[in-house]
Amino acid sequence: MHKNLFCLLIVGLISITSCSQNKKDIANTLLVDVNAEPASLDPQKAEDAQEFRVTNDLFAGLVDYDQTNKPTPGMASSWDISDDGKTYTFHLRPNLKFSDGTPITANDFVYTYERLVDPKTASAYNFLLAGVVNANAIMKSTKPADSLGVSAPDPQTFIVNLEHPMSEFLTYITANGVSVVPQKAIEQFGPAWTDPKNIVTSGAYTLKEHVVNGYIEAEKNINYYDADNVHINRVKYFPYTDTNVSLSNYETDSLDTTWKNIPIDRFASIKDKYKNELHVTPSERSIHLSFNLKLPKYADNLKLRKALSMAVDRNVLTKEVLKSGQKPLYSIVTPTIENGKYADTKYEWSTWQRDKQIKEAKKLFAEAGYGPNHPLNVSISTYTNDQNKKICLAIAAMWKSVLGIDTKLDIKEVKSWISSGRKGGFDIRLSTWGADYNSVTTYTPLYQCGNGNNFSNYCSTEYEAKISNAQNTIDTNAQTNAYKSAINTVLNDYPVVPLIEPTQQRLVKPRVHGYQIEDNYLDNVQTKWMTLSN
């Protein structure tokens, strides 16, 4: 055979093989939009939904959850609860391993739980373990991390001792923040332990590549305890901050699932075009504004905070700006949490006619010392996102119309937005909080002194006392009333402006199976539930 012809045949065979392999890889790769570049892939430091979508795949804990957000056995195959409700004994599955093949034992959970509450970790989710013996003292740096009420009497047994009974404790530890992490890798590499070349994971997937602001790629972890039931080999996560870009990629089959919102101004046409692929479902989340109470103009002026809250027309925000099934929010907790148990706990003026709300807002604004002769200028900090921008522009227009306020928008990249929020580098901040579990206590810690997600820096001794009382109340009805009283304390202090309970609006390709999106109102998603068809 002629040499050149032989070479062409070889090249052609390689190309065909490569193309075939590439198609095979794509056929078993889930392509996911996560909306923004994750700030951290460390489960104890991850804070936002974008990060959780990835870390939920990479890490696992004692207790897992199903698609209705109910606790199920995870790395613990079973557990016992003492008669007084204060001691939980978890029995680990045999032969648990990290992604590098090293054993996972009860001591790894001791390390993980101590790491979560250790002030050196600075986890915004340390409150998940606040009910564990000595946890609060550790978080306040008055006791060492190794005094936490956890122990490992043997490699297969992990024990947690609580300060008081907590009926919701199992729900708490389904959260990604208590997923088991590798002590050796963390101590060897420090903050760089989550780099692809260093990372060791415990979940259904392990990290293979991370191109910042490009994509994250994960592949099936063959050492995962339930690997036989993980059917998708690879996942690629894309940080599309622009919903129009996300939609374009979905339309060209470069995405299997979009993020939880789609272009607002194209909702009707998308719903018509993709009627069988668009899923609009309730979302257990709160969108609100946080006042920076480190600033005297807010900290010392309750009437100003109340006026700004009353001047916002939430019905306009939901029905005319967003128009995708969102609901007005008049409390620091949603009316749907715990199946509506706290729906009646809200601002008493929420049922007033709009003209009465406006009249009262103007009155309070004047009493706060502001008006034509003493104008107020404010700035709202948010991150790059189509929906966020529309919300902020609408609020700015309402404040201008009702109170004559000039509002500036401070739009940041998500990492910078998170960082500035932590440092108090904002005037007013548009904040979003997604429930981690179906309990009112997924929201109440946000207003406790020193909580890492308390962006307003609100701190009330009255609220702290009421929360403590609620936590230590065993009777269910009495506990509910105690939490309602605590919530009303925050509502009366106006550290935030509750705005919207949102919806999820997600496009999902027909080739994705096993994703029960309508049941998962917390939107805690794991790829291991899904399969792909060709």
Residue showing tokens 């109170």: 403
Q: 525 is written with which tokens?
A: 């998603």
Q: Residues of the chain with pLDDT > 70: what percent?
A: 95
Task: Tell me which amino acid residue 382 is.
Answer: T
- The answer to whether the beta carbons of residues 403 and 307 sit under 8 Å apart is yes
Strands (E), 191-334: 205-211, 215-220, 234-238, 278-282, 285-291, 327-328
What topology does CATH give the domain 25-40+188-279+506-532?
Answer: D-Maltodextrin-Binding Protein; domain 2 (3.40.190)
Asked if the model's pLDDT at residue 1 lies above 80, the reply is no
276-289 average pLDDT score: 93
343-348 average pLDDT score: 97
SS3 223: coil
What is the CA angle 339-335-136, rounded to 5? 85
What is the rounded distance in angstroms from the CA atom of residue 160 to the CA atom of residue 91? Answer: 12
Asked if the model's pLDDT at residue 37 lies above 90, the reply is yes
Please state whether beta strands 496-501 and 327-328 pair in parallel, antiparallel, or not at all (unpaired). antiparallel
Residue from 23, 29, 73, 22 nearest 531 by CA: 29
- The answer to whether the beta carbons of residues 412 and 268 sit under 8 Å apart is no
For 341-367, letters b (16+ CB in 10 Å) and e give bbeebbbeeeeeeeeebbebbbebbee
What is the rounded distance in angstroms from the CA atom of residue 20 to the CA atom of residue 13? Answer: 10
- Architecture of the CATH domain 285-501: Roll (3.10)
pLDDT one-digit tens code per residue, 478-488: 999 999 999 99
Contacts of 176 (CB under 8 A, 6+ apart): 43, 46, 52, 55, 56, 59, 61, 524
pLDDT one-digit tens code per residue, 498-507: 999 999 999 9
Name the helix (H) or strand (E) containing 33: strand 29-33
- Tell if the pTM clears 0.85, that is, is over it: no
What is the rounded distance in angstroms from the CA atom of residue 414 to the CA atom of residue 47? Answer: 12
Give the pLDDT confidence score for residue 415 in this predicted structure: 80
38-41: long-range contacts (C-beta < 8 A, 24 or more apart)? 38/216, 38/239, 39/414, 39/415, 39/418, 40/194, 41/194, 41/199, 41/207, 41/210, 41/216
Residue from 204, 201, 200, 202 nearest 228 by CA: 204
What is the rounded average pLDDT for all residues in the chain?
Answer: 92
Distance of CA 487 to the CA centre of its chain: 21
Least confident of 63-72, 108-117, 214-223: 63-72
Distance of CA 366 to the CA centre of its chain: 38
Asked if the model's pLDDT at residue 521 lies above 90, the reply is no
Give the pLDDT confidence score for residue 21 in this predicted structure: 41
Give the pLDDT confidence score for residue 213 in this predicted structure: 94
Name the helix (H) or strand (E) containing 142: none
Name the helix (H) or strand (E) containing 20: helix 3-27
Q: How confident is the model at residue 385 (pLDDT cuts 50, 70, 90)?
A: confident
Asked if the model's pLDDT at residue 11 lies above 50, the reply is no
Least confident of 35-39, 187-191, 231-235, 434-438: 434-438
Of 386 and 250, the structure prediction assigns the larger pLDDT to 250
Asked if the model's pLDDT at residue 19 lies above 60, the reply is no
Q: 204 is written with which tokens?
A: 């259904």
Residue from 382, 325, 331 nearest 502 by CA: 325
What is the CA angle 133-134-136, rounded to 5? 115
143-164 average pLDDT score: 97
pLDDT one-digit tens code per residue, 40-95: 999 999 988 999 999 999 999 999 999 988 999 999 999 999 999 999 999 999 99
254-271 average pLDDT score: 92
C-alpha distances in Å from residue 411, one per residue of 376, 381, 456, 524: 20, 6, 18, 27
What is the rounded distance in angstroms from the CA atom of residue 78 to the CA atom of residue 278? Answer: 38
- Length, in residues, of the chain: 534
Give the pLDDT confidence score for residue 24 in this predicted structure: 53
Give the pLDDT confidence score for residue 272 in this predicted structure: 95
Question: Would you tell me which CATH number, out of the four given (3.40.50.170, 3.20.20.210, 3.90.76.10, 3.40.630.40), belongs to the domain 60-180?
Answer: 3.90.76.10
347-356 average pLDDT score: 97
Give the pLDDT confidence score for residue 166 in this predicted structure: 86
314-324 average pLDDT score: 94
What is the rounded distance in angstroms from the CA atom of residue 483 to the CA atom of residue 442? Answer: 12
- The answer to whether the beta carbons of residues 233 and 219 sit under 8 Å apart is yes
Structural domain boundaries in the chain: 25-40+188-279+506-532, 60-180, 285-501
Q: How confident is the model at residue 7 (pLDDT cuts 50, 70, 90)?
A: very low
Q: How confident is the model at residue 25 (pLDDT cuts 50, 70, 90)?
A: low
**Which residues are registered as beta bridge partners of 506?**
279
240-263 average pLDDT score: 95
498-526 average pLDDT score: 93
Asked if the model's pLDDT at residue 383 lies above 90, the reply is no
pLDDT one-digit tens code per residue, 398-437: 999 999 999 999 998 888 888 888 888 999 999 999 888 8
Cα distance between the two ends of the chain: 39
Asked if the model's pLDDT at residue 16 lies above 60, the reply is no
Residue showing tokens 């990249």: 413
Residue showing tokens 């994750």: 38
Give the pLDDT confidence score for residue 472 in this predicted structure: 82
Asked if the model's pLDDT at residue 20 lies above 80, the reply is no
Asked if the model's pLDDT at residue 23 lies above 60, the reply is no
150-165 average pLDDT score: 96
